[in-house]
Structure 1
């Protein structure tokens, strides 16, 4: 065996924990904007070896599972700290109020999220065998833990390992049929397989599964190359988009006292000449980002009149804006919603969509923690009394002149299978995403956010229109190709036509069925394999249940295991 793998397997105590943390942190380099796929392999292979090391002779099953869970927690902690450090930028926007809590955001959330890979490592250890099937067990168990992470406690599927494949144009095409969780299983199985190269006893054990993994990756790339059309796809007739990216810092400048300056900036930028010579008069639909106004637009007739004066007859503005319901009798204020509103050239609000999936602690304080949070003087980041209320369901947004719209606000776009409107209306033919990533500055967070929204377009077979305050704003076709975009940290406008939907049949139910089928087949294969192996070990004269070279343990420990 190569000494490096042996040293990882035999690591104990704090050395094992440090190796787990370092391996997990390395895996974050596979996420946007870096996209270094081999980094995930260099992260997962040590993860496999670390689980191998929990099979210490004389260690009880319960102790072995605890050891696997512990190293899985440290692996996850490193992965999430390295991948989500940018969350700390939000605590510095109003540093006088929130800077003291920065360590809790940068380290506290990763510490909680790390319990999901801890569960995954323990589940993998439960199915572990000292042969190539342990790669399947590893991919199966961590996929299950990622599915749980995407749904439990409101869900947070950010930086799912499947995004290592989901940011490459060719590789992401498989998501149309398998979804993000399907990509997750493939990414884990493919990138964990190199662990066998340094631990297999024979050439077949070392190279068979890695060879199959390389073949699977090549097949995905060839399929993606075949699936993506060679030419740009047609566009929707009589739709000309103008997306405004104001690049307005999320600090004291975004203040009700500066409302007039903010509105002037929006109006002048929206009317500025485009990069390709188009003007505002050419646009039928102007799109502004989330939370565009530090005031309630629907209760400000003067601002609505200014917007009406900007628009040509027949054109509309689609913009993010907070809104408030009428207060119930006896209450001073009504419920607040994070919304998208549609406004015509008369300054009339034609329609609205309210956000369903709110950001915990960003847009509201969870009820069960509200008393504690208030007691220490904290509140949600947005300056809304009591925070936002969630809408009851995802409703379609009707925009004159546009195909049926699946509206998403901010991080609603990161949830696969939760994009399309509910109900029996006409199927959506467009994903609209407005967001404000100005909270996170010039960090990796906005790149990760855009990559996830882009993958939703491939999953659903729908074009994506995205307006972001500080970037990344873009128009993406249903195959994930970027038609036009504005980079992070610049102001400007995008003038673009709207690509048509792909016409392919995309169903979240079909994708869930496909993933469930894959996982059930894996589980059945692992159970059958485990029973066969254990029977063989019990009846064979060798009876050696070890996961690496017996020389690493010594004959005495092997004899103990055989007994």
Structure 2
């Protein structure tokens, strides 16, 4: 290979190596080291076109490795060959790498004459690019680089600067290494002081612990069994056993996973379909004791004419004593190909279908909702994938005391579930609100308002755990009050600083 092309190969390798900083490997120092390498590669690049290619290849390597769990999801769709899963990973990564490409292009444009400008420009542009990635074309916010610092003290910073702000900090940490290697001590000292100050950010004070009892159930029902004809009876028995085993005295909150009940729990069609749904609701609600609430994932079917199904919702049902339906939340941020098939008339004609069984597409709900549970406080909902979207997980006009995040990670392989958990931890720390996760095969967990995992069940384990509901922050965090205005402001300020310093460097170079 010619030397001229080797920097592009190094960019791809650096991005691929950085993916091992994400869970489940979790070697977080690899991420700042990878960004140090990216800064060096961009500094050696002679053209904007080369800088864009360098950033794109870095992102491509990171996404292809980090999103390998998507390939596993395709193995559960019998109509599609397994190898198509890896094609999907590569194609998605080809698109997602556009955002690192834009960040690299901005950093090179304004920072090519001065290393500190390169560092600041890349950090700011990266934060902005991650925010854009979360919103364009329905958004795919999975694996922001901040998620690699989920087990470090800097997780606390998200309460102030949010996830995208923490991503900028991770890039700055890589930039510090880059500046130290280049022996730019003055610039490195300034970045080091800024990073050290982050360790003194105050942690959110928590409200008084309520001591309210909870049970989180993980039935360990794999995707290969979940939708198998007749398996719903086995699943119902397992859920009931785990829910009632060694039942503690007193009222409790009982949490079941996404689509824990695979048969519809609401069906607007005429009989006998409505009666079947009534039966499923009654069977689940029979486990609700005095003062209890059951929060479970389920399916709702809608019908305009009481005969044909006109739509469906992926929902959370909340049952009180006596089977009373307290409320329902319908998932708003749906997964393309998982919960609906884009361009269905075209794609269905060539044999493509949803990765989950069913020919009816889910309909999106109205967005974050808070439901009052008398005696327990307010609960907000984020169903599965929704929890990854920073700044979009709560109704800010009616702030909940905790978030229930039922999920089905059973088809996400070994890498998806721990990455999903890491992103749920970011949401808890950002908002100062505990998050309860219940999944069919793991990882189910209770996350406190600082983003720390209090209790959990490992992957592919059937069981439950009893505990108490963690309290929220006594006051909304700074991020909870202002949302992504803060990290975006930080991102733009860093880019503006890069522009100013870059012009200074160019002036000195020309005089």
Q: Is this a same-fold pair by TM over 0.5?
A: yes
Contact 1:72–1:122 (Cα < 8 Å) also in 2: yes
Residue 553 of structure 1: aligned partner:
none
| TM-score, with structure 1 as normaliser | 0.83
1:257 shift after superposition: 1.9
1:29 aligns with 2:20: yes
Residue 188 of structure 1: aligned partner:
171
Equivalent-residue separation in structure 1 for 2:66 and 2:435 (angstroms):
25
Residue 314 of structure 2 aligns to a residue whose secondary structure is: strand
1:508 shift after superposition: 4.3
Equivalent-residue separation in structure 1 for 2:217 and 2:324 (angstroms):
20
Equivalent-residue separation in structure 2 for 1:253 and 1:412 (angstroms):
21
Residue 494 of structure 2: aligned partner:
522
Contact 2:48–2:108 (Cα < 8 Å) also in 1: yes
1:11 shift after superposition: 4.3
1:319 shift after superposition: 0.1
Residue 332 of structure 1: aligned partner:
308
Equivalent-residue separation in structure 2 for 1:344 and 1:98 (angstroms):
44
1:125 shift after superposition: 1.5
Equivalent-residue separation in structure 2 for 1:209 and 1:163 (angstroms):
26
1:400 shift after superposition: 4.2
**Aligned residue pairs, count:** 500
Contact 2:214–2:469 (Cα < 8 Å) also in 1: yes
| TM-score, with structure 2 as normaliser | 0.92
1:356 aligns with 2:329: no
Equivalent-residue separation in structure 1 for 2:366 and 2:486 (angstroms):
29
Residue 476 of structure 2 aligns to a residue whose secondary structure is: coil
Deviations 1:136-176 (A, max 9, x none): 122122222212112111111211112223x0252111100
Match among 132, 145, 154 for residue 138 of structure 2: 154
Residue 484 of structure 2 aligns to a residue whose secondary structure is: helix
Distance verdict in 2 for CA 1:451–1:343, change over 3 Å = same
1:283 shift after superposition: 4.5
Residue 439 of structure 1 aligns to a residue whose secondary structure is: coil
Residue 177 of structure 1 aligns to a residue whose secondary structure is: helix
1:525 shift after superposition: 2.3
Residues 494-513 of structure 1 mapped to structure 2, 5 A cutoff: 494-506=465-477, 507-508=479-480, 510-513=482-485
Distance verdict in 2 for CA 1:297–1:145, change over 3 Å = same
Residue 224 of structure 2 aligns to a residue whose secondary structure is: coil
Residue 386 of structure 1: aligned partner:
360
Contact 2:128–2:488 (Cα < 8 Å) also in 1: no
Residue 416 of structure 1: aligned partner:
390
Runs (4+) of structure 1 exceeding 6 A deviation are none
Equivalent-residue separation in structure 1 for 2:93 and 2:240 (angstroms):
40
Equivalent-residue separation in structure 1 for 2:234 and 2:492 (angstroms):
58
Match among 148, 160, 167 for residue 164 of structure 1: 148
Residues 202-213 of structure 1 mapped to structure 2, 5 A cutoff: 203=183, 205=184, 207-213=185-191
1:343 shift after superposition: 1.8
Instruction: Give the gaps of 5 or more residues in structure 2.
Output: 267-273
Equivalent-residue separation in structure 2 for 1:487 and 1:176 (angstroms):
27
Deviations 1:266-290 (A, max 9, x none): 11121123xxxxx255452111000
Residue 131 of structure 1: aligned partner:
115
Distance verdict in 2 for CA 1:515–1:11, change over 3 Å = farther
Distance verdict in 2 for CA 1:183–1:464, change over 3 Å = same
1:322 aligns with 2:299: yes
Residue 264 of structure 1: aligned partner:
237
Contact 1:308–1:347 (Cα < 8 Å) also in 2: yes
Contact 2:384–2:407 (Cα < 8 Å) also in 1: yes
**Superposition RMSD on alpha carbons, in Å?**
2.3
Match among 13, 19, 30 for residue 39 of structure 1: 30
1:294 shift after superposition: 2.1
Tell me which of the two structures has the higher relative contact order, counting C-alpha pairs closer than 8 angstroms and 6 or more residues apart: 2
Contact 2:117–2:499 (Cα < 8 Å) also in 1: no
1:193 shift after superposition: 2.4
Residue 73 of structure 1: aligned partner:
56
Residue 333 of structure 1 aligns to a residue whose secondary structure is: coil
1:395 aligns with 2:369: yes
1:48 aligns with 2:22: no
Residue 551 of structure 1: aligned partner:
none
Equivalent-residue separation in structure 1 for 2:490 and 2:102 (angstroms):
20
Residues 8-19 of structure 1 mapped to structure 2, 5 A cutoff: 11-13=3-5, 15-19=6-10
Contact 1:430–1:501 (Cα < 8 Å) also in 2: yes
Equivalent-residue separation in structure 2 for 1:399 and 1:255 (angstroms):
34
